[in-house]
Amino acid sequence: MNELAVKKNAVTEPMRIPTLADELAALFGRAGHRLYLVGGSVRDAMLGRDSADLDFTTDARPDTVLKIVSGWADGVWEAGIAFGTVGVTKRGTTLEITTFRADSYDRMSRNPEVTFGDAIEGDLLRRDFTVNAMAVDLETKQLVDPYDGMTALRRGILDTPAPPEESFADDPLRMLRAARFTAQLGFSASPRVVMAMTEMAGQLTRITAERVQAELSKLMVAADPRSGLELMVETDLADHVLPEVPGMRLAIDEHHQHKDVYEHSLTVLQQAIDLERGGEPDLVLRLAALLHDIGKPATREFQPGGGVSFHHHEVVGAKMTRKRLRALKYSKQIVDDVSQLVFLHLRFHGYGKGEWTDSAVRRYVTDAGPLLDRLHKLVRADCTTRNKRKAAALQRTYDDLEERIERIRAEEDLAKVRPDLDGNEIMKLLGLPPGPLVGEAWKFLKELRLDRGPLDHDEAVAELREWAGEQGITPAD
């Protein structure tokens, strides 16, 4: 079934309700309260998608909810109780039960003044999009859809229950969620939503970097991040999240086969995703593919005769990547890994037709370290020329490099390239205490190891003693 093809009998036949939901509804019914399955849980069920968590809403107040689930739940947490939400675990499934809300917002932040409501219709009105503003009454098994979310779901349209200007003023993060749902579900934003996003993009600055980053990450690991990114650029949201991405529209790609570096980068992103070959989405690889050329606008130079150069754009781009990802509060590991891939993505182009020495191949592997497999995918994805012969030649050349890496790896343990003498032996041979000189000696021997491959012990000692003499260090007897 197509992901966007809603079940034809979704309205006329009861949804398949999870056993846990029925159990919970029975508890609420005996206590004199109504319970509804709501939001993304309903949307995903209609789309035939699995939903890891179950979300509910109820007329019961939070303290009453706690009493109802006591003794039934395997675990209960109250971290969100100030917002009306009680978290529950049961047989390995996470459930969230939230009292009907009728919040108001100060529109200076995204923090609501929490007030509880008395009707399901009012609760659904305050939700982000009509496709998420549907509920199932677990007593009657009837769909509650006051804002025609089913029609929007059938058409694959993102629209808001309230006017979009009001919805986004209440919570500007919803604009970024529109881009995320576009990428995840293949939906298209309605014209009025697009207009409101464009007019209100600047309000995204009210949202913390951590929340923006969380939405961006979900978008990037979705099925079609390109469509979400294009919506962000079209509506100017990207100017406040990843301004370097729309900034690439100013730079014409040097291959002259794409409209600009922006289009080239989106193509590289898609090709990198294809190289995941059905595995888990790789956030680091996808960010590197999107950002690998962000240094081009700053390094663009027009050459006599109409040529364009981008010298050292990988160096500039790595610095820009590090700055942007830090501003988005990504973890140090992600910042380091994505920046290093951006820095290394151009190195392969020095390989020519295989002119690299084994030493250069070792350095390529050593510099990539644990990122080598991702670097392989990024470099291959970066070939976007429409000239089939040129593309095939580039892929054959990279095949040759990978074969050389495997050959050398079979002969030497490239993953554990270390000097032929360790730090203790260096100190003993040179009569040095622990300190910077030992580190310099260790680095010298590692560079030697990369250049010449493994050395036997006596040869390594001789090279160390010669280096020490050049540094004015008198080796120990």
Q: Which residue has the tokens 């002259």?
A: 256
Q: How far is 409 from 401, CA to CA, in rounded Å?
A: 12
Q: Please state the rounded mean pLDDT for residues 358-365.
A: 86
Residue type, 170: D
| pLDDT confidence band for 107 (50 / 70 / 90) | low
Read off the pTM: 0.81
Q: Please state the rounded mean pLDDT for residues 60-68.
A: 96
Residue type, 455: L
CA end-to-end distance (rounded Å), the chain: 78
The architecture in CATH of the region 1-155 reads 2-Layer Sandwich (3.30)
Predicted local distance difference test score (pLDDT) of residue 376? 95
Residue burial 379-414, b: 16+ Cβ < 10 Å; e: rest: bbbbbbeeeeeeeeebeebbeebeebbeebeeebeb
| pLDDT confidence band for 14 (50 / 70 / 90) | very low
The closest of 406, 436, 405 to 423, measured between CA atoms, is: 436
The sign of the dihedral angle between the CA atoms of 399, 400, 401, 407 is: positive
Tokens of 207: 């949202």
Name the percent of the chain lying above pLDDT 70. Answer: 89
Predicted local distance difference test score (pLDDT) of residue 318? 96
Predicted local distance difference test score (pLDDT) of residue 475? 67
- Cβ 132 vs Cβ 185: under 8 Å: no
| pLDDT confidence band for 156 (50 / 70 / 90) | very high
Q: Specify which of 6-20, 60-74, 410-424 reaches the highest per-range mean pLDDT.
A: 60-74
Q: Please state the rounded mean pLDDT for residues 189-198.
A: 98
Name the percent of the chain lying above pLDDT 90. Answer: 58
The closest of 257, 230, 286 to 383, measured between CA atoms, is: 257
Q: Please state the rounded mean pLDDT for residues 208-224.
A: 97
Which of 1-15, 31-45, 284-298, 384-398 has the least mean pLDDT?
1-15
Tokens of 156: 């694959």
pLDDT digits (tens, 9 = 90+) for 390-427: 889 889 999 999 999 988 877 666 555 677 788 888 88
pLDDT at 9 over 50: no
SS3 153: helix
| pLDDT confidence band for 237 (50 / 70 / 90) | very high
SS3 259: coil
CB within 8 Å of 392: residues ≥ 6 apart: none
pLDDT digits (tens, 9 = 90+) for 86-99: 999 999 889 999 99
Predicted local distance difference test score (pLDDT) of residue 10? 44
pLDDT digits (tens, 9 = 90+) for 244-300: 999 998 655 554 444 489 999 999 999 999 999 888 999 999 999 999 999 998 888
DSSP category for residue 89: E
- Cβ 174 vs Cβ 165: under 8 Å: no
Predicted local distance difference test score (pLDDT) of residue 415? 54
Predicted local distance difference test score (pLDDT) of residue 257? 42
pLDDT at 12 over 50: no
Each domain of the chain, given as residue ranges in start order, spans 1-155, 287-414, 418-470
Q: How far is 80 from 85, CA to CA, in rounded Å?
A: 5
Predicted local distance difference test score (pLDDT) of residue 194? 98
